[in-house]
Amino acid sequence: MDVKNKKWWHEAIGYQIYPKSFQDTNNDGIGDIPGMIEHLDDLKDLGITVIWISPINLSPMVDHGYDISDYLQIDPSFGTNEEFELLIQEAEKRGIKVLMDLVINHTSTQHEWFKRAMEDLDGEYAKYYVIQEGRDDQPPNNWRSMFGGSAWEKIAGTNKYYLHLFTVEQPDLNWENPALRQELYKIVEFWLEKGLAGFRVDAISHIKKIYDEENLPSDGPDGLVTVWENYRDAKGIGEFLGELRDMAFSKQDILTIAEMDVVDPERWEEYFGDNGYFSSIFDFYHTAYTIQDKTFDNDSEKFVEFLKPLVYKKQELANDRVFFTNFVENHDLPRALNRFIPKEEIGYHSASVLGMFYFFMRGIPVIYQGQEIGMVDYPKDTIDEYIDLATHNNYQDYLLKGLTEKEALTQINIENRENSRTPMQWNDQPNAGFTEGTPWFAVNPNYPEINYQQQKDDPKSLLNFYKKMIQLRKNPEYKDLFVYGKSIPDFVEAAGVIAYQRKSADQMISALCNLTNQAVVVEYDAEFEILLNNYTELKQAAGLMTLQPYQGVILEEKSLDNGK
């Protein structure tokens, strides 16, 4: 990547809003756009410059908005189109840009296109969806939906089936149809005209399907099979992604972040280099793992040592080439604290060092709502307390695999994505100040201890630490280094520590993050200045530095030729 090609979004500090759970203002228990507007000052105060809002378009909410029934309307539970435009303007006043979630792999079954398709299977709209003839009263093939069960749904009164890689209510769009693609580009244009700064592009790796005419050998007790190569980054997808860029995205100077892994580093430029399909990607190299897994057994050193090569490899390969979007949480994952830190050790130091570990790497840092105050998972006593369909499907899968109900629930409590969807904890008032009505999803009862208001007033809080991290990243003296400097692994041998340098021709900082509950001693004899420290002191003597349990420091090295 050539630094000559600077883009506004290279220096973005992102924040994801899960609208249903952010702030309710009309007491229907559902977060809304006025609630977002209400908190823009808080986001500005934190230092956020870009917000990504999970879908707010018209939706029957089977998948909480990821099932869209009208792309051009804001769902009334969130507000009106006018209120959304007001949000964009109010955000702009505070130096914050707004990204929408662009869900164009599928629609809702309630979308007009789908309804028309079902009314006339030989008509134009039927070509908007992936519809195939069944075989001997069986689905066209035995593909499994990502949310469990067959990926095909029978169309009543016919022998035809439509494809849904996600829930039954989320029929996949047929990207092979140029007329459909044109419709999608119009949607992009519609929102860009309203002043939107770009999109997070949902499930986009799935738009290309390579249809299997036969059943494949099953890989589970359900007789179904997951064949990623046929519908995730499938061969030929580049044609669609390139057209999407050229016909829709490249018309304005926007930020597009694709939700997709690009596994082969040789293809990073093609996907998200200077002239890639997208500006950046959210990839999932780290999200499948949790310290609660039996393999890691709550041993942080084991967990960190496993993760470290993945982190380092990605960082080294990205230098001068591409900008990843760096994150530890989103609405599809349990809370990061529960995934990275043993439960009994979750606290200020572990939470702040977890932030430091990813925040200063090369790429766009994004915070998920609540992460900045250290929100944690809220395990349930019964499966019925969960709402998410995917969670229920996973639970059924566990039962099918032979787990008892208790075992299945334990597993679900650890890994389910609704953990991160509990309402935002604003203060110690009823329902954490999220709503005066009944919240759509239960508030974590720990809100009297963990909430925004209390942390805002406490200079030693996690919230204020996040603020300091952001201030440091934005500090004019270091900004270019953090944005464009190389990211180089450091102290690779120090077990449980993730450390890296950020380096340019004339500047260098070191980030050292001890992600364990043991003190770690490293050799460090360069001259430095402490730019950030989550402890009040840093022990150093005779060329040795001691990192306390969960201590993280950002150091500026004073002499570049220190022999390291």
Residue among 208 and 502 whose Cβ is closer to ligand GLC: 208
Active-site option among 67, 75, 169, 202: 202
Query: Strand locations in 235-379, DSSP E?
Result: 255-259, 280-282, 325-326, 364-368
Give how far Cα 57 sits from Cα of 27, 40, 107, 369, 512, Å: 20, 20, 11, 20, 42
Work out whether 66 is an interface residue with ligand GLC (CB under 6 A). Answer: yes
**If contact means CB under 5 to 8 A according to the sort of partner, which of ligand GLC, Ca ion, none does residue 26 touch?**
Ca ion
**If contact means CB under 5 to 8 A according to the sort of partner, which of ligand GLC, Ca ion, none does residue 293 touch?**
none
Q: How many CB atoms are located within 10 Å of the residue 222 CB?
A: 16
Residue among 28 and 480 whose Cβ is closer to Ca ion: 28
Residue among 164 and 456 whose Cβ is closer to ligand GLC: 164
Work out whether 74 is an interface residue with Ca ion (CB under 5 A). Answer: no
Work out whether 332 is an interface residue with ligand GLC (CB under 6 A). Answer: yes
Residues touching ligand GLC: how many (CB under 6 A)? 9
The tokens describing 226, both together, are 């997951």
Among 1, 12, 13, 30, contact with Ca ion (rule: CB under 5 A)? 30
Distance CA 342, CA 354 (A): 12
Name the burial class of residue 172, with classes exposed (0-12), middle (13-18) and buried (19+) by CB atoms within 10 angstroms of its CB.
buried
Query: What phi and psi, each to the nearest 5 degrees, are found at residue 352?
Result: -75, -35
The stretches of 446-493 forming alpha helices (DSSP H) are 452-456, 462-474, 479-484
Residue among 24 and 259 whose Cβ is closer to Ca ion: 24
Which position's Cβ is nearest ligand GLC? 66
Measured from the CB of residue 32, what is the shortest distance to Ca ion in angstroms?
A: 4
Residue 106, helix vs strand vs coil: strand
Work out whether 556 is an interface residue with ligand GLC (CB under 6 A). Answer: no
Work out whether 103 is an interface residue with ligand GLC (CB under 6 A). Answer: yes
15 and 50 Cβ atoms separated by less than 8 Å: yes
Q: Containing H/E element for 492?
A: none
Measured from the CB of residue 416, what is the shortest distance to ligand GLC in angstroms?
A: 12
**Closest CA relative to residue 359, chosen from 347, 371, 370, 375:** 371
Query: What phi and psi, each to the nearest 5 degrees, are found at residue 188?
Result: -60, -45
Measured from the CB of residue 432, what is the shortest distance to ligand GLC in angstroms?
A: 23
Distance CA 331, CA 282 (A): 13
Query: What phi and psi, each to the nearest 5 degrees, are found at residue 26?
Result: -110, 15
Measured from the CB of residue 458, what is the shortest distance to ligand GLC in angstroms?
A: 33
Measured from the CB of residue 77, what is the shortest distance to Ca ion in angstroms?
A: 6
Measured from the CB of residue 194, what is the shortest distance to ligand GLC in angstroms?
A: 22
Q: How many CB atoms are located within 10 Å of the residue 342 CB?
A: 18
Name the burial class of residue 11, with classes exposed (0-12), middle (13-18) and buried (19+) by CB atoms within 10 angstroms of its CB.
middle
Exposure string for 93-108, b = 16+ CB within 10 A, e = fewer: eeebbbbbbbbbbbbb
Site residues for ligand GLC, 45-64, by CB under 6 A, read 63
Is 259 a catalytic site residue? yes
Longest dimension (CA), the chain: 81
**If contact means CB under 5 to 8 A according to the sort of partner, which of Ca ion, ligand GLC, none does residue 366 touch?**
none
Work out whether 283 is an interface residue with ligand GLC (CB under 6 A). Answer: no
Q: Containing H/E element for 51?
A: strand 50-53
Cα 282 from chain centroid (whole Å): 6
**If contact means CB under 5 to 8 A according to the sort of partner, which of ligand GLC, Ca ion, none does residue 233 touch?**
none
Residue among 32 and 172 whose Cβ is closer to ligand GLC: 172
Is 202 a catalytic site residue? yes
Active-site option among 32, 259, 397, 418: 259
Residue among 331 and 468 whose Cβ is closer to ligand GLC: 331
Residue among 26 and 73 whose Cβ is closer to Ca ion: 26
**If contact means CB under 5 to 8 A according to the sort of partner, which of Ca ion, ligand GLC, none does residue 332 touch?**
ligand GLC
Residue among 50 and 498 whose Cβ is closer to ligand GLC: 50
Exposure string for 479-490, b = 16+ CB within 10 A, e = fewer: eebbbbbbbbbb
Q: Containing H/E element for 187?
A: helix 178-192
Work out whether 202 is an interface residue with ligand GLC (CB under 6 A). Answer: yes
Measured from the CB of residue 210, what is the shortest distance to ligand GLC in angstroms?
A: 20
Binding-residue pattern over the window 31 to 50 for Ca ion, x denoting contact by CB under 5 A: -x------------------
Binding-residue pattern over the window 203 to 222 for ligand GLC, x denoting contact by CB under 6 A: x-------------------
Measured from the CB of residue 35, what is the shortest distance to ligand GLC in angstroms?
A: 20
Half-sphere exposure of 82 (CA within 13 A, CB side): 0
**If contact means CB under 5 to 8 A according to the sort of partner, which of ligand GLC, Ca ion, none does residue 169 touch?**
none
Work out whether 24 is an interface residue with Ca ion (CB under 5 A). Answer: yes
Give the chain's radius of gyration (CA, Å). 24
Binding-residue pattern over the window 161 to 180 for ligand GLC, x denoting contact by CB under 6 A: -----x--------------
The contact set with Ca ion (CB under 5 A) reads 24, 26, 28, 30, 32
The contact set with ligand GLC (CB under 6 A) reads 63, 66, 103, 166, 202-203, 259, 331-332
Active site residues: 202, 259
